[in-house]
Amino acid sequence: MAYTFLLFDLDHTLLDFESAEETALTQMLEDMNFPDVQAFKDYYKPMNQGLWKDLEQKKLTKQELVDSRFAIGFAHFGRDVDGEEMALRYQDYISQQGQTFPGAEDLLAKLVERGYQLYGATNGVTAIQQGRLKQSAITPYFKEIFISEQLGTQKPEVAFYEKIGNLIPGFAMKQALMIGDSLTADIAGGNAAGIDTVWYNPNHKENTSQVVPTYTVSNYQEIADLLIK
């Protein structure tokens, strides 16, 4: 199959979200003189991941997620905070984090050189994602980056991909490839939209779901081998 349009997930695929989150949370909590920074992170990180899964399943809205996650986190430690205000404070810290995985920029450069059109396709908060992308080295390789909050829909909804398709000149689903680490967002969404998918699985997780990717890879070289003949 000849592909033209490559849709890349960002966090956990190209952008190192774990490093960004770790640095931003540490800086914010230390500046607040929080007594046990590590304990907060140990509770907050899985709780936050659970909220994003709930968002995928439409159990809550993006705004509810953003406004509640820090209120929930601090409440666990007996502190009452304004979740909305804390979200804005955290946004200042994490939007300065542009860490990418080793080899990400090199992969994108090779794909652009071969004539592929690269687009970012990310679920996230607009201000945070735009800030992090400004700090990263990968942004120039993309013709455009689509953020769910701006589109008013998110992966895995078919509407997310349909809106992207309407915004890309000459776009055709059969010429597109969705590349990402999440079976429930990237792969399930691509499948539903009729787009071939690459499951980026560097940790060799077992697929126990009903979601079947077109291809599975465990490193960037395998993506290059798939697309650069």
Q: Which residues are catalytic?
A: 9, 11
Return the DSSP state at 185: I
SS3 114: coil
Cβ 164 vs Cβ 157: under 8 Å: no
Cβ 161 vs Cβ 180: under 8 Å: no
Q: 């908060």: which residue's tokens?
A: 125
Considering only CA atoms, which of 139, 136, 161, 140 is closest in space to residue 151?
161
Kindly state the helix (H) or strand (E) to which residue 166 belongs, with its residue range: helix 158-167
The whole-angstrom separation of Cα 192 and Cα 212 is 11
Q: Quick one: tokens of 188?
A: 């399930």
The whole-angstrom separation of Cα 8 and Cα 218 is 15
